[in-house]
Amino acid sequence: MLVAKLVSKRAHQVPGKLTISEYFFEVPLNHASPLDGTLRLFARSIERFEKPVGVVEEEAKPLPWRGPGFPCKSPQNYGWTEKALDKGYQIMFLDQRGTGLSSTVTEQTLARHGGPMAQATYLRHFRADSIVEDCEAIRRNLTSEQAEENQKWSIIGQSFGGFCCLNYLSTHPEGLREAFILGGLAPIMVEQPDPVYQNLYHKVAERNRSYYAKYSEDIQRVKNIIHYLQTEKVKLPSGGTLSIARFRQLGINFGFHGGIDAVHEIILRLDSDLECYGYFTRPTLSGFESTQGFDDNPLYALMHEAIYLQGRHASNWSADRVMKDHPVFMNLSTSNDEPIYFTGEMIYPSMFRDYTQLRNLAPTADILAQMTDWPALYNPDRLAHTNDVPVYASIYIDDMYVSHDLARETAARLRGCRTFITNAMYHDAIGAAGKSEEVFRRLFALREDVLD
C-alpha cells in the first residue's frame, strides 16, 4: 500500500500555548496508477504546547473536511478546537486535494492539463474516494514508527466531510478508531443526484417560506430587484454578471445560522439603491458578490453533482432538470402577489456564464455532467453488517444541504452508528457561535455514555 511522501514539516507556537505544525505531502494523482503524476497536499496539526495535567494524549488525529471545494482554516480559528484538545486529541486539518494549498484547482491551474476533456478526466480524481486514499497514505506515513495498536486514528467530517468518512469506513476501516460525522451522513444507496435534489428542493422551499414569513416586506423588494434585472444587464466588480439566476442563488445562505438575516441585509441594500439612485452602487454589488464563493472555489461548482455518482450514471445537470418538477421555483412574475423563491445549494449551467472564473470551464463542466462509469463510493454491505468502527453522528432536521430523511436512512443502515437528531440547529452548527460546544458535548456524550 502506498505511503505519502513527507516533503516538509515546520512547527510554530501560536498564542494560547498551542503548537501548529505545517506539513506538505506528495501523493499520486491516481492511487491506482501511481505513475500518472503527483499532487502536493497541505495539512496543519495542532496540539498543546504545555499539555494539561491529567490528560492522556491520544494518537488519534481527527481530520475535518467540508465542501467539496473548500480548504480548512488555521486550527486555532475553529471554536471546537479547544474542546477536542481538552479531550486529549491532537488534531490534523487537511486541505483536501484541489483546495487551499493542496494542488488547488482554478481555471488557470486546470489549463495546464490540456483541453476540456483532459481537465474533466483529471477532475475525476477529486472525489471522496481519492481524498480518503490521500488520508490513508498520510496516516501510514505519520504512524509508520508507532506500535500497531497506536496506528489507528479518529476522523471527523462536516458536511461533505461526512461523505468522506463513509467512504473511509467502506474502504479502509482498518485505519480507523472512530468516526464523528456532523451533518454529513451521505445517501449511500443513491447512485445519482436526482433523488437528493427532489428531496432538498422541498427543504429549500420551506426555508423560503420562513424567510418571507419573517421579512414579508421583502416579497415586493425581491420583485423590484427581479424587475430591474429583467431589463438591465448588471456587471459585478469582478466582471461577472448579476443575472436573475445568480441573484436567486443568494438562497444558498438560508440553511446557515443567521443566513436568513444576512440575505435580508443584501435585499434591503439592493432595493434601497434602486429607490434612491435607480441602479446598484459598487459597495452594494461588492457585498452581494462576497456571499458567493464559486469564483475562488471552482471545484465546488465543477464536482458538486459528481459527489453522488456511482455506477453507470451521468448527472446531466440534475439540479437544473429537477427544479422543473417544483413549480414554485419557476415563478418569476413581478406582477402578482406570489413570492419569488430563491434557490439553494444547487449547480446550474447558467453559473458557467455568470461567474468570471467559471466561464472558460463551461465545456469541462458539460463533459463532467455527461460522464458515466463512476466508481462506487460506498460498500453498503460492509457498512451494514461488518462495520466495527464506532460512529457518532449529528443529524439536523432542518438541514438544507444534506437531506434529513436520507441521512436517517443511512444511519439505520450503518452498524454501530449512534446519532443525535435535533431541530434546534442548522447545518453549520459546528462553526456557529453558541452552537459549536453544544454539538461536541452531544457527540462526546454518545461516545462516553452507555446505553443499556
Q: What is the rounded distance in angstroms from the CA atom of residue 352 to the CA atom of residue 359?
A: 5
pLDDT value at residue 134: 96
Question: Residue 66: its pLDDT value, please?
Answer: 55
Instruction: Tell me if 100 sits within 8 A of 91, measured CB to CB.
Output: no
The pLDDT value recorded for residue 386 is 97
Q: Which of 218, 427, 428, 436 is catalytic?
A: 427
Whether the CB-CB separation of 155 and 60 falls below 8 Å is answered with: no
d(CA 2, CA 134): 9
**Sheet with 153-158, edge to edge strand ranges:** 153-158, 176-182, 391-396, 417-422
Distance (Å, whole) CA 193 – CA 284: 35
Q: Report the pLDDT value the prediction gives residue 78, as an integer from 0 to 100.
A: 79
Q: Is 427 considered catalytic here? A: yes
- Given this model, what pLDDT does residue 59 score? 46
Catalytic-role residue among 399, 404, 428, 436: 399
Q: How far is CA 19 from the centre of its chain?
A: 27
* Strands ordered across the beta sheet of 5-14: 5-14, 18-28, 38-48, 91-95
The closest of 296, 284, 294, 190 to 245, measured between CA atoms, is 294
Grid cell of 295 as nine digits: 469564483
Please report, in angstroms and rounded to a whole number, the separation of the first and last CA atoms in the chain: 40
> What SS3 state is found at 178?
strand
Q: What is the residue type of 275?
A: E
| Secondary structure E strands in 397-440 | 417-422
Q: Could you tell me if residue 156 is left (phi over 0), alpha (psi between -120 and 50 degrees) or otherwise beta? A: beta
Q: What is the pLDDT of residue 63?
A: 56
Residue 70: per-residue pLDDT: 74
Strand-pair partners of 8: 24
Give 108-136 as a DSSP string: HHHHTT-SHHHHHHHHTTSSHHHHHHHHH
C-alpha cell at 338: 406570489
Q: How far is CA 364 from the centre of its chain?
A: 21
399 catalytic? Reply is yes
> What's the pLDDT at 266?
98
Q: What is the pLDDT at residue 58?
A: 45
Mean pLDDT of successive 10-residue stretches along the chain, which has 452 residues: 88 88 96 93 88 44 59 78 86 93 96 97 97 95 88 93 97 96 96 97 98 98 98 97 98 97 98 98 97 94 97 97 97 95 98 98 98 96 98 97 97 97 95 88 89 70
Q: How far apart are CA 210 and CA 423, in angstroms?
A: 14
State the DSSP string of 224-257: HHHHHHHH---B-TTS-B--HHHHHGGGGGGGST
C-beta separation of 9 from 23 below 8 A: yes
Amino acid (one-letter) located at 269: R
- Encode pLDDT of 9-67 as tens digits: 999 998 888 899 999 999 999 999 999 999 999 999 988 886 544 433 444 455 555 55
Catalytic residue among 45, 103, 159, 318: 159
406 C-beta neighbours (distance < 10 Å), count: 20
